[in-house]
Structures are given as structure tokens and as C-alpha cells.
Homo-oligomer: A and B are copies of this chain.
Amino acid sequence: MALLVQKFGGTSVGTIERIKAIANKIQEFKAQGHDLVVVVSAMSGETNRLAELAHQMQDAPTPRELDVILSTGEQVTVALLAMALNQCKCPARSYTGGQVSIRTDSQHNNARIESVDTRVIREELDAGRVVVIAGFQGVDQDGNITTLGRGGSDTTAVALAAALEADECQIYTDVGGVYTADPRVVESARRLDSITFDEMLEMASLGSKVLQIRAVEFAGKYDVALSVRHSFEKTMGTLITMEQQGEMERATVSSIAFNRYEAKLIVKGIPDIPGVASRVLKPISKANIEVDMIVQNVADDKTTDFTFTVHRNDFQKAMSVIGQSSDEIGVHEVEGDNQISKVSIVGVGMRSRAGVASRMFETLAQAGINIQIISTSEIKISVVIAEKYLELAVRTLHSAFELDKELVLDGA
């Protein structure tokens, strides 16, 4: 008998049949005596369909109105799941974000949860019902509908688990856990039994779509027991933990992550004086383009080369922004390359062990892969390479760090 918050994503509720399968799964948990709060996303493809309608209507949809239309996607799913549960004699009721007072700030399209009123949810649980709650959405203090940004349903689930002091927050996906690398790229990739919050944060920020980064931050902050599980199979999943499990035997590197769709811009021959980096990046940030890696190289005595990477979707926009402000910045020449990818190795173990970086670079060199940019943090090392080498790099590193070998953990 535990209080569980379970979250099912878009592909898990993508069809009528899948929603029925999810309902059966929930019913089994309920039959075991658990109290259940279930958070769901929009059926897969639905959010894109609604966004497409909005963009047909307005060049840049009013953020407030975009939230009004996008939030209907989850509202449809909660009603359907509640019906499916009622159909199999499992009493359930659906709620929108607003109906259970998921209060956010007023940053439409990317709002942050400020508070959750658990009164209605507790009443429903006390009445023996499964509470089905629309993920991804809330209301601001004036009652306007807000959404939390892509993947926001993870955050909804974690926030509810924190507010309800749930025993566990279970994120169900069609992947079933966190892997040493993307199983579609590396056949020998293994599911990890556990991973630390820090590692998970790095992986989320590296574009691993297993969990939304804000959900991981939130869970870490409020000490929510978090796990990633399989929507349709009865496998163990991955537990996200505060401390590393089975420290001694743990591999130095826990996983290989990658972002395929990167692009880089090299701004050449700019004056090597203080403030130049901000002069280059200000127009980029004004254009709402997110910058990932930033590297500055000394070229000769008076000028410098400045390189930064962006998501490939923003490449053309970034090139034209720099082009337009080249006089102002004093740019000599801009080069771009949108056929690059980023590969990263992640692991808490890296902190205390030497030689990880050199092993990574050596492995890539032996495979004939040229490294274009390097960036590091305490628990990850990222390199930018040509996209055509991406799969080769991920597989070679996965094998070099022995991630395909089963580990014997003590005490885990």
C-alpha cells in the first residue's frame, strides 16, 4: 500500500488500444491496494497538430492563446483514460491542471510550477478513486491557462509527487529505463538499474529525451523517489538516486549521450578585446536562439576566432543574425557547418579518476574521427564531430568504456 504518482507519455497513450492497455496496468496497481495519481500527456502527434493549427492562424501565435489550444491535448487524454478505467470497473476521475490548482507563473508556453493544492486530489483518493491529471499545464494567479513547455508532463508528475509526499514517482516510457546509450544506435546498450540525479541532469541537458531536465531538478530538490519504467513490459526500470549505488564496482562512465542535430558558427577575425564575446552573442540571444557550446581561440596578435554551436533548426537564423550585425561586431568572416553532432560521456565516477578524457580522445583518434570542439563539466565530457561519424563514435566509446559488460553491484 503506497501512494504512487505514475506518468504516461504521448506514445504510451497514442491510440485507443494503448490507453486501454494503460488502464489495465493501472487497475492492477489499484488491485494491489495502492493509491494512484496518474499524469498523462497528449496523444502522440496531437500537440504538433494543435500547434500547426495555431501557426496557420497567426504568424507568431499569441503565447496566451497558444496555451489555451495546446492544453486541450492533455484534456482529451485524461477524459479518455478515466473512461477506460471506469469501463474496467476501476473508479476514476479526470482533472485539468487548473481544476487541481496547479499554479504557475505567467510565462506562457514555458511556465514554472509555483504551487499545487492537493485538497481535491486527497478527497478523490480518500473516496477510492484513481485521479487522472492532465500533465504539461496549469493556471496562473489570474486563472489564465499556462503550459510548461515540451516534456512538461514529467515536471507535473514530479511536482505532484512532491506536494503529495508520494512514495514514488514513476515515469513510464516506451524505452523502459535509462540506457548506457541509445539502443537504436548501440545494439549492446544496457539498461542501468540506477543512475544519480547529477548524471541524469547531464543526460537530460545533453538531449536525452528520457526525462525533462526540470523534472529531474525538481525531483532532486524535493527528494522525490523517481524511477523510469516500461509502459507495457514488466521490467525493473531505472531508479534515479541521490548517491551512487555500489560505489566501488561502479564503472567510471555510466553512459554515452549524443545530440545529432547540431550546427556550429565560426566567427573569424574579430578584434581580440574584452567584451567581444557578449557583442557576438547579444544579437543571437535577442533572436531567442539558444547557444550550446562556446569556444574562443586565439588566432593572431590582434584578432580572434569565436566558435559556438546551436541546434540545427536555428542555424540559418543564427547565420543571418550574425550577418546582419557583422558591422557592429566588427566581423571579418563567418563560417558555418550544420553537419555536425555532439557526443558526450557521462559519469559521476569521472570526478575522482584520471585518464577518462585521454581515453575518450584516443579512442576517437584510433577510429579516425576528428574532434572539432571539446567541452567538459565535472561529470561529462562532450566533443563535436562530423555527423557522419556519429554512430561510429557512440559505438566505439560504448565498447571502449566497457558499458556493454554486465556489472556485479554489491548491495544494489
Contact = CB atoms under 8 A, between A and B. Distances in A.
A259 B62 CA distance: 44
A64 interface: yes
A76 B50 contact: yes
Contacts of A61: 83
A94 B79 contact: no
A36 B66 CA distance: 22
Given A58-B83, A79-B66, A53 B16 contact: yes
A16 B56 contact: yes
Interface string A58-91: 1101101110110110011011101110110000
A69 B80 contact: yes
A93 interface: yes
User: Chain A: interface residue count, which band?
Assistant: 35 or more
B53 A65 contact: no
B72 A58 contact: no
A98 B68 CA distance: 13
A69 B79 CA distance: 6
Contact of A83 (B54, B93, B98, B143): B54
Contacts of A50: 76
Interface in A290-318: none
A57 B84 contact: yes
A109 to B, nearest CB: 13
B54 A80 contact: yes
A394 B246 CA distance: 86
A53 B76 contact: yes
Given A53-B16, A76-B72, A65 B87 contact: no
Interface string A136-151: 0000000101000000
Nearest to A59: B87
A18 to B, nearest CB: 11
A20 to B, nearest CB: 7
A99 interface: yes
Contact of A53 (B80, B86, B87): B80
A19 interface: yes
Contacts of A143: 99
A66 B93 CA distance: 11
A228 to B, nearest CB: 27
Contact of A94 (B53, B65, B78, B82): B65
A386 to B, nearest CB: 41
Contacts of A93: 64-65
A16 B80 contact: no
A87 to B, nearest CB: 4
B72 A68 contact: no
A57 B20 contact: yes
Contact of A75 (B57, B72, B87, B94): B72
Nearest to A143: B99
Among A16, A65, A87, residue most surrounded by chain B Cβ atoms (within 10 Å): A65
Interface of A: 16, 19-20, 50, 53-54, 56-59, 61-62, 64-66, 68-69, 71-72, 75-76, 78-80, 82-84, 86-87, 93-94, 96, 98-99, 143, 145
Given A65-B93, A71-B75, A99-B143, 18 more contacts: A16-B53, A16-B57, A19-B57, A20-B57, A54-B80, A57-B80, A58-B83, A58-B84, A58-B86, A58-B87, A61-B83, A62-B82, A65-B80, A65-B82, A66-B79, A66-B83, A69-B75, A69-B76
Q: A-B pairs with the 3 shortest C-beta distances?
A: A69-B79, A68-B79, A72-B72
17 contacts: A16-B56, A50-B76, A53-B80, A54-B79, A54-B80, A54-B83, A58-B86, A62-B83, A62-B86, A65-B80, A65-B86, A66-B83, A68-B78, A68-B94, A69-B79, A69-B80, A71-B75
